[in-house]
Structure 1
């Protein structure tokens, strides 16, 4: 498929729920293809910690019910029921007693999981008497549901009823994540994306067990979050985008809607308000934020490093305080990202002064400060999280911060920036960090990539998707798939299972039929043996 062959588009759909799952076995399971069932177990992405094929499985039928053993798992149970009802056409009621008898059912249990699997891990068991997912917390049940999803035929991804053999293969799985932070960044500032597009992006994260959405809300080209105390930020600063389009922004209610949707899928939203650079949209909205007292013109190009808030004006810090306060009030997650990169028009001294004050403001509003790794300039305390983004692996300042106790997010542009072209003829994307094939996206280790930084200092990997060249959800999907699942596996699976490219490319290619049914506009890389 050529880079501009983007015919497949996924329609928005509700995904299924999570919990401890128990499926009873039906007659069709015994008649199903054992080899096909085994392949589905072998091809799970991200690859689980431990799997064992056990034989007979279970066929979901019109008699299947879903049991939620704890009220804390009710949301996951509803999510699962909604997901499965559409393709199967079955009622799948949620019941108060564990399903018994020949029909079997689905049980969601927050008991019986070992401490080893933590808050996000799970145990999944399928045998003739049922399928059970056990976890210590609802997030673990949700992860187990995403695995169950891949144990079912690709038709489970359909947005209408399908005739299929809804057999779950007999298996025992023990699984838990390698890293606590498994993130994906989305730039909605260069080009604006509507609420439904962001929700679809969140669904893709959840599908591959990512748990953080880094939402880049402001930049030179647009301000995308309503700030009630500074309304012109969106009235003026949100009015355009790269190329001169009409732009857009999220009202505070719309932002809350995104956050709630993410929470239901156990994804934490990390809002980014970039500063002191990448601020032309703000400078074009309010004259007083400029050192000369004159409003800047709106900017619709793609250059970087030319803008900055006025470091010497006290109103700058009143502005930062108001913005952080309102964003913090809207954001239940523990982090606020304050950018900090490419502030080329101010001195190091000015930068460090500004960042010290901005970091304190974030703390004052009860959030943990996070920024691109330049945030280390003022030598901040260990609670500050730098996000490493340079292409290479030498970063002495990051290594020094790790020695002092700072935790680090790994986003090397040469591997994790998914806006980089697949190859030189890719129509979308950039190439300043090099070309990033699917193999390049997979062929690195987040725990050891940065020289001098031990894995114990790495919170986890995070992909970045900048939108200079991306205008639609089709464009997002094309750059995201198949590379995002590759990095999602690096974040979830043990390093002993992510060092075999040949095995991974075989497994990843089997996701293609699912993406076809989901109508995802993925890039058919020649590196993968598509069916």
Structure 2
């Protein structure tokens, strides 16, 4: 285990108060994110109504936060004195670094900046009873475990994003979201304020943005890929006034959180064009978008467009003091530009290569304007296309490739890859999970996130500022749903961006998450609890096949059945792998004492002739969608009918795939079948046909019927004796104009290959 906290001893002591005898139990530190250095010592310091507090003006934000936190959560009043002391320590070089020392005699917080002191308070907060969070503490004293902590962050940029264009949330929730970011030592709130589905920021010079662009006529019901699409017929929208924005920015600043606004351009601008059609290339009236996706009506690079955007940014810059301004830059279809006389003339005039060069021209011009105001731009990794604006920072979301390219060019980068940082993806394979956009991002995968790509040298790695979790809200209609999708994955991300690699240990982390549940309960956070879910996999050992199960949390028993009945405390206890030699349905649950924890796990294994045999691929699945690896294609378990990112689907991006199955000996087969995901809204396309080859060199082409559904199946009825079966699957190429992801390579997702 890499967890290095030195546990000298944790003792529980009896404390006598003037009127009664009460057992006070100091809390064993379970701090998230885990500190750089933490040494637990004998004893505790007791906070009572007699405890005093002192801090200099430089530490007033941190000192007052602690004072208000303790006093509002108890009946205590912290008077002026030297029991809890904030002191400046100029030897602490990191502006967010701190030292926290708790002893029998008091609490000392050392920092070189107010920000460092504030972060120290967030650690101290986790040493105090959770009852202070909801003001339910009724004791006469608080025992704080003696401990020495020295801490500083791994990355300077530690962010969380929130999209309010698809769904909008009250000011009170935005503040609650910022509180959570601050508690977990993150320092940036990326506020996505404009998109095709709604304009959410008041711009006084352009009132139609509030009157028209802020509202859509209706909203999609269900998933984008569901056919036919249905809508609710209800007008939806709103915007944040400039006074509300000032209030939120000030609230965040009082917690050392920088708010970065995002004003999307040149794409994702249909809402703005609906209010001012002259900003588009056609001048035609368009509507605010009623569903997610990518739309062809984007800003036209005309002088009046640049005048509009400069006016918008003038007001935005007055509201947001952040050095960075996010300008989007992603998913901008070039269809309108290709057919626009002005755009084509501008390409010739500026000697640009093509429409991608025109996008670079557009972004560079906006960057120059924002630079002239003393600010810097951030854009999604598409801003690399056509040439990167001179001073831009790249936010890499389509994987790690954009970050690698930008860092090698000497540009700062922030990692937000969909594979590890998109909290709109499913976090469990439980069929009862609420509707999400797709994908599969469990807690452990977030925790494994390393923002520094291995392809970068140590010098190039210096351009990696940090990472961010993204929360796109097409399928999050209310704040409770946002919380469910964010928590506890934000806990894992906080440790990925704060804690040093040698301090991280997932088994220890999940125990701290389990403890943190009580704090989230007290804070009324609607978190997802998947710690007690069972994970299973099929393994082959010496030609025998077994099914293995486990949970993230140790110390609990798994009880299971094979007869289809629900597991109970009297069912068989799982100890080692279950032998599998025929089709089985395994049901299992985690128990502690007589109580079931979490949901019942169910897995059907459909036995076929390829299970347990050798399979090889000419290319590896994309690192974001490895599933269960190549063996997952012949393990008897099918992927979800509606989620492409679970552990049974393998994803390939823009690559032809050749799969070879070795049955070991010549075997008589009668059929081969498989299926492909076809979620075009997520850039996923089923192939048009596959080739199947046998030992006798016979090659058969099997065509796959076109379908509007999420799944495309293919089956070959064939009586043949063969040892080897080779399947060749051709990728679909570049996604055409007018489709989501146009211009990008299509994904191919493959499920179980069944050999009968």
TM-score by length of 2: 0.61
* TM-superposition CA deviations, 1:257-309 (whole Å, max 9, x none): 11000000000000000111101110111121122222211221112243311
Q: The residue matched to 1:439 in structure 2 has which SS?
A: helix
Q: Specify which of 199, 207, 210 is matched with residue 183 of structure 2.
A: 207
Q: Specify which of 451, 465, 468 is matched with residue 446 of structure 1.
A: 451
Contact 1:86/1:158 (8 A) holds in 2: no
2:33 equivalent in structure 1: 46
Q: Distance in 2 between matches of 1:471 and 1:350?
A: 36
Displacement of 1:161 in angstroms is: 4.3
Q: Distance in 2 between matches of 1:55 and 1:448?
A: 42
Q: Distance in 1 between matches of 2:265 and 2:140?
A: 52
Q: Which residues of structure 2 form unaligned runs of 5+?
A: 1-12, 221-233, 336-354, 534-551, 555-591, 593-756
Q: The residue matched to 2:425 in structure 1 has which SS?
A: coil
Q: Distance in 1 between matches of 2:327 and 2:14?
A: 54
Pairs within 5 Å for 1:216-235: 216-235=192-211
Pairs within 5 Å for 1:412-423: 412-423=417-428
Distance 1:466 1:158, change over 3 A: same
Q: The residue matched to 1:66 in structure 2 has which SS?
A: strand
Q: Distance in 2 between matches of 1:417 and 1:480?
A: 9
Which deviates the most, 120-129 or 397-406? 397-406
1:239 matches 2:215? yes
Distance 1:435 1:304, change over 3 A: same
1:269 equivalent in structure 2: 259
Q: Specify which of 170, 174, 178 is matched with residue 194 of structure 1.
A: 170
1:400 equivalent in structure 2: 405
Q: Distance in 1 between matches of 2:370 and 2:425?
A: 31
1:430 matches 2:454? no
Q: Distance in 2 between matches of 1:517 and 1:400?
A: 44
2:151 equivalent in structure 1: 175
Contact 1:27/1:59 (8 A) holds in 2: no
Q: Distance in 2 between matches of 1:164 and 1:273?
A: 51
Q: Distance in 2 between matches of 1:378 and 1:365?
A: 25
Displacement of 1:114 in angstroms is: 2.5
Q: Distance in 1 between matches of 2:295 and 2:553?
A: 42
1:284 matches 2:274? yes
User: Which structure shows the bigger proportion of residues in helix conformation?
Assistant: 1
Q: The residue matched to 1:283 in structure 2 has which SS?
A: helix
Q: The residue matched to 1:114 in structure 2 has which SS?
A: coil
TM-score by length of 1: 0.87
1:529 matches 2:505? no
Highest Rg: 1 or 2? 2
Count how many residue pairs are aligned between Structure 1 and Structure 2: 485
Q: Specify which of 122, 127, 133 is matched with residue 157 of structure 1.
A: 133
**CA RMSD, Structure 1 to Structure 2 (Å):** 2.3
Displacement of 1:446 in angstroms is: 1.1
Contact 1:305/1:345 (8 A) holds in 2: no
Q: Distance in 1 between matches of 2:235 and 2:186?
A: 31
Displacement of 1:254 in angstroms is: 0.8
1:481 matches 2:487? yes
1:471 equivalent in structure 2: 477
Contact 1:45/1:489 (8 A) holds in 2: yes
Q: Distance in 1 between matches of 2:16 and 2:318?
A: 52
Distance 1:89 1:113, change over 3 A: farther
Q: Specify which of 311, 319, 324 is matched with residue 322 of structure 1.
A: 311
User: Which structure shows the bigger proportion of residues in strand conformation?
Assistant: 2
Q: Distance in 2 between matches of 1:512 and 1:399?
A: 37
Contact 2:160/2:468 (8 A) holds in 1: yes
Q: Distance in 2 between matches of 1:199 and 1:251?
A: 15
Displacement of 1:381 in angstroms is: 5.1
2:84 equivalent in structure 1: 106
Task: Answer 1 or 2: higher relative contact order, Cα 8 Å, separation at least 6.
Answer: 1
1:91 matches 2:68? no
Pairs within 5 Å for 1:294-313: 294-311=284-301, 313=302
Which deviates the most, 235-244 or 402-411? 235-244
Contact 2:48/2:141 (8 A) holds in 1: no
Q: The residue matched to 1:511 in structure 2 has which SS?
A: helix
